[in-house]
């Protein structure tokens, strides 16, 4: 007769053995250290530059919104008069 055993969840053939896990952890830690070094190289913008850029974007957005609103208004008047 064949002996039947229940599968054991803690015994897995697909997970790497412990030396591979240590090597993988060292690679991950090395990557995180490189990320930390790259963040030190980043030139962060100052408060004045961010404020100026924000005001410029908001101003441009308002100008485009007004232009599109006027264009929509005049086109709707033109189409209403055309189809009456």
16: which residues sit within 8 A by CB, 6+ positions away? 24
- pLDDT score for 67: 98
Kindly report the pTM of this predicted structure. Answer: 0.51
Q: Where are the domains of the chain?
A: 16-43, 46-84
Query: What whole-number distance in Å separates Cα of residue 34 and Cα of residue 47?
Result: 27
The predicted-structure confidence for 7-66, as pLDDT tens digits, reads as follows: 655 555 556 566 778 888 999 999 999 999 999 999 989 999 999 999 999 999 999 999
- pLDDT score for 17: 64
What separation in angstroms does the CA of 1 have from each of 6, 29, 65?
Answer: 16, 51, 82
The answer to whether residues 24 and 16 touch, using CB atoms and an 8 Å cutoff, is yes
Kind plus residue range of the DSSP H or E element containing 57 = helix 47-82
- pLDDT score for 73: 97
């Amino acid at each position: 007769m064949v002996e039947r055993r229940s599968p054991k969840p803690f015994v897995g053939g697909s997970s790497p053995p412990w030396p591979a896990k240590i090597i993988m952890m060292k690679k991950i830690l090395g990557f995180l250290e490189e990320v930390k070094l790259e963040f030190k190289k980043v030139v962060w913008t100052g408060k004045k530059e961010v404020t100026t850029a924000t005001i410029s974007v908001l101003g441009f957005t308002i100008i485009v919104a007004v232009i599109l609103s006027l264009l929509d208004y005049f086109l709707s008047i033109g189409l209403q008069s055309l189809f009456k």
